[in-house]
């Protein structure tokens, strides 16, 4: 059987200024809106855990829990989490985490966003393949949701004159 890769990377060209993309990533409430997690009143602070109830249909039973690792303004945001930790009967707290990184670059009329997740080699064998597959596929959908969120917020800003 082919081993699961340790990491993957997704890229998306967003037609929003870097500052708008950055805000959608590091403003916890904005992040929660497109990602599907209730983060009202929460903040992302390096070295601290952030939790919220998942609001994405079918996963409302999941508590989203990340350890914010790095916040480098307008360039890099990263956190650690337990990949595809969705079974309420399993305590994932003793498992290793994976590292999710968001990297931003100016690109033509917008922003190039790279999202990578690494550390799958350390996930228990019984969960490794499913966690890799679900997160890899999940980030494709989440980036599409982010793109839609940014388009909506940019249109709202234009209507408000700012």
CATH number at residue 85: 3.30.530.20
Over residues 115-132, mean pLDDT: 97
Task: Note down the domain range covering 58.
Answer: 5-159
Sign of torsion over alpha carbons 136, 11, 101, 56: negative
Q: What average pLDDT does range 99-106 have in this prediction?
A: 98
Q: Which of 69-73, 81-85, 150-154 bottoms out in mean pLDDT, i.e. has the lowest? A: 150-154
Q: How many domains does one find in the chain?
A: 1
Mean per-residue pLDDT, 88-108: 95
- Percent of the chain past pLDDT 90, that is, above it, reads 91
Mean pLDDT of 128-148: 96
Instruction: Let me know: does 154 contact 20? Beta carbons within 8 Å.
Output: yes
| Assigned token pair, 91 | 């305590």
Does the pLDDT value for residue 162 go beyond 70? no
Interval 31-58 mean pLDDT: 97
Nearest to 147, CA basis, from 64, 25, 45: 25
Average pLDDT over residues 78-83: 98
């Amino acid at each position: 059987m082919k081993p699961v890769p340790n990491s993957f990377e997704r890229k998306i060209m967003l037609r929003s200024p870097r500052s708008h993309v950055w805000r959608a990533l590091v403003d916890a409430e904005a992040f929660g809106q497109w990602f599907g997690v209730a983060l009202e009143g929460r903040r992302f602070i390096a070295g601290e855990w952030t939790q919220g109830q998942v609001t994405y249909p079918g996963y409302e039973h999941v508590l989203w829990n990340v350890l914010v690792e790095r916040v480098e303004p307008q360039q890099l945001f990263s956190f650690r989490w337990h990949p595809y930790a969705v079974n309420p009967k399993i305590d994932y707290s003793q498992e290793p985490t994976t590292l999710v990184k968001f990297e931003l670059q100016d690109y033509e009329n917008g922003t190039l966003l790279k999202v990578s997740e690494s550390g799958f080699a350390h996930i228990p064998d019984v969960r490794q393949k499913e966690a890799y597959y679900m997160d890899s596929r999940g980030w494709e959908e989440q980036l599409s949701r982010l793109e839609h969120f940014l388009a909506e917020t940019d249109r709202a800003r234009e209507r408000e004159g700012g």
